[in-house]
Amino acid sequence: MDTDLRSPLALPCGATLPNRIAKAAMTEGLATADGRPTPELERLYGLWSDGGAGLLLSGNVIVDRDHLERPGNVVIHGEPDADRAERLASWARAATRGGNHFWAQLSHGGRQVMKLVNPHPKAPSAVKLGLPGGQFGEPVALEVAEIDELVERFAVAAEAVKVAGFTGVQVHAAHGYLLSSFLSPRANRREDEYGGSLANRVRMLLRVVASIRDRVGAAFPVSVKLNSADFQRGGFAFEDSLAVAALLEEAGVDLIEISGGNYEQPRLLGIEGMERAEEQNVAPSTAAREAYFVDFALAMQQKVGAPLMVTGGFRSRAAMEYALSSGAADVIGMGRPFCTTVDAARQVFEGRERLPSPERELAFIPRGLGFLKRLQMLKALDGFAVQYWFYGQLYALGRTGHTNPGLKPFAALREVERMNRKLMGERSGAASG
């Protein structure tokens, strides 16, 4: 197997990624209140494009304005007007100026939409998130006609970004958002053709992929982000993920990104949620100690021939090269390293052995009180506090072009909440006006 991170990768559709490192999708929160791209997004993605990665994936681009993942998401709700279309094109120009690919991650928040955005979000079934704090509302089950409409919205959004100059799309079917929750028997209790058997639970995802392909054509990259597992009792298991990946390969998907978890069990952040994670029937690999999902990808590549991207935890060049040489991954995805080192890819190509891991120094729980980390709730709080610090770095990069290493997690949390309230206020004002 090829171990050179600088080698190009030919995708099934005929497009070629210039190298094997991708900036994985991270929520930015830098769009306008009504979901239009901004100069801040252009500045951020221009920096990343200059940084050497072969592929940049956007944060959630939402296909339904009432189902944001968070305030500040980019939204494509139907055909974009002239201003939105031009802003999308300007964003794409900045994000591809280094000769890399830039793909839009198309998404719908589903039941993980915050209550301040929508107190009654649409979901496969009326199954509320099992999280304390009351931040999420009571979901309402989608009607079949609404599912049909959403399938079309995904396709319209894909065509819009293609016209704007994006070079591909990724369908977000991981992390508990709408398409992911359709896959989970824990969240999907439907008794119609979209619930019950895995063949039914995967139906909407396959319809979305087919509808997008019809709109964008055979030569435009179409990828899917898929959970290796939800890590919850009664949820989407690795055996299900293998079967879905095989169906996606049959559907002509060009790249499958392997991730895992959801808001209730946030393995995507490298932490555990309120309940103990459900173990999966997968042999651990030596690299899995650093990269969360390499062991799942190793097992998957024995069954699936589509190119795989593995994201989560990569910091050392040795682990990245191992993932390539073992066949576990065709593309190495990284998120947090790009928040502090915008040219992380170039630095790895030039021989850097390990990228910084500032999260190790950002623990919410003070030193000397490490025994508190045995409490599951505090472990989760610790992980989420650090996550806000990374949000703060994206804000700083977008606004100034520079990081803010002196930022404290609590200050970052207050800034994110302030921005959320500001954006929601502007959104409400526009709606009432």
Each residue of 58-98: pLDDT tens digit? 999 999 999 999 999 999 999 999 999 999 999 999 999 99
Burial 411-433 (b: 16+ CB within 10 A, else e): ebbebbeebbeebbeebeeeeee
pLDDT at 433: 43
User: Is pLDDT of 53 > 50?
Assistant: yes
Identify which of 278, 277, 259, 283 has the alpha carbon closest to the alpha carbon of residue 269: 259
Confidence of residue 230 (pLDDT cuts 50, 70, 90): low
> Which segment of 46-60, 210-224, 385-399 scores lowest on mean pLDDT?
385-399
Mean pLDDT of the chain: 87
- Evaluate whether 112 touches 187 at the Cβ level (below 8 Å): no
Confidence of residue 372 (pLDDT cuts 50, 70, 90): very low
Q: In this prediction, what percent of the chain has a pLDDT beyond 70? A: 82
> Which segment of 112-116, 249-253, 335-339 scores lowest on mean pLDDT?
112-116
pLDDT at 132: 58
In this prediction, residues 377-398 reach a mean pLDDT of: 79
pLDDT at 133: 59
* Measured CA distances, 430 to 81, 268, 424 (Å): 16, 34, 10
Mention every residue, 6+ apart, whose C-beta is less than 8 A from residue 65.
34, 35, 75, 77
In this prediction, residues 306-330 reach a mean pLDDT of: 92
As a whole number of angstroms, the distance between CA 52 and CA 347 comes to 9
- Evaluate whether 259 touches 269 at the Cβ level (below 8 Å): no
pLDDT at 371: 47
CA angle 156, 32, 428 (to 5 degrees): 95
Mention every residue, 6+ apart, whose C-beta is less than 8 A from residue 136.
111, 112, 113, 114, 115, 121, 128, 129, 263
Confidence of residue 262 (pLDDT cuts 50, 70, 90): low
Confidence of residue 431 (pLDDT cuts 50, 70, 90): low
- Evaluate whether 56 touches 422 at the Cβ level (below 8 Å): no
pLDDT at 378: 52
pLDDT at 374: 47
- Evaluate whether 248 touches 226 at the Cβ level (below 8 Å): yes
The residue assigned the tokens 């993942």 is 69
Identify which of 316, 322, 209 has the alpha carbon closest to the alpha carbon of residue 255: 209
pLDDT at 362: 67
Sorted by where each begins, the domain ranges of the chain are: 9-356
pLDDT at 41: 98
> Which segment of 168-182, 224-238, 284-298, 331-345 scores lowest on mean pLDDT?
284-298
As a whole number of angstroms, the distance between CA 110 and CA 182 comes to 9
As a whole number of angstroms, the distance between CA 60 and CA 171 comes to 10
pLDDT at 195: 97
User: Is pLDDT of 294 > 90?
Assistant: no
pLDDT at 306: 94
pLDDT at 1: 56
pLDDT at 303: 85
CA angle 339, 318, 245 (to 5 degrees): 75
The residue assigned the tokens 């929520």 is 27
Identify which of 170, 183, 149 has the alpha carbon closest to the alpha carbon of residue 60: 170
pLDDT at 47: 98
In this prediction, residues 3-17 reach a mean pLDDT of: 96
User: Judging by DSSP bridges, how do beta strands 16-17 and 9-10 pair with one another?
Assistant: antiparallel
In this prediction, residues 373-381 reach a mean pLDDT of: 51
Higher pLDDT, 383 or 120: 120
In this prediction, residues 247-273 reach a mean pLDDT of: 73
Higher pLDDT, 50 or 372: 50
Mention every residue, 6+ apart, whose C-beta is less than 8 A from residue 314.
290, 291, 320, 323, 332, 333, 334, 337
Class of domain 9-356 as given by CATH: alpha beta
User: Is pLDDT of 196 > 90?
Assistant: yes
pLDDT at 137: 85
User: Is pLDDT of 234 > 60?
Assistant: no
User: Is pLDDT of 373 > 50?
Assistant: no
pLDDT at 7: 97
Confidence of residue 357 (pLDDT cuts 50, 70, 90): confident
In this prediction, residues 291-316 reach a mean pLDDT of: 86
As a whole number of angstroms, the distance between CA 425 and CA 209 comes to 35
Higher pLDDT, 317 or 263: 317
Q: In this prediction, what percent of the chain has a pLDDT beyond 90? A: 67
Confidence of residue 410 (pLDDT cuts 50, 70, 90): confident
Confidence of residue 360 (pLDDT cuts 50, 70, 90): low
Residue 127: half-sphere exposure toward Cβ, Cα within 13 Å: 17
User: Is pLDDT of 269 > 70?
Assistant: no
- How far is Cα of residue 297 from the mean position of the Cα atoms in its chain? 17
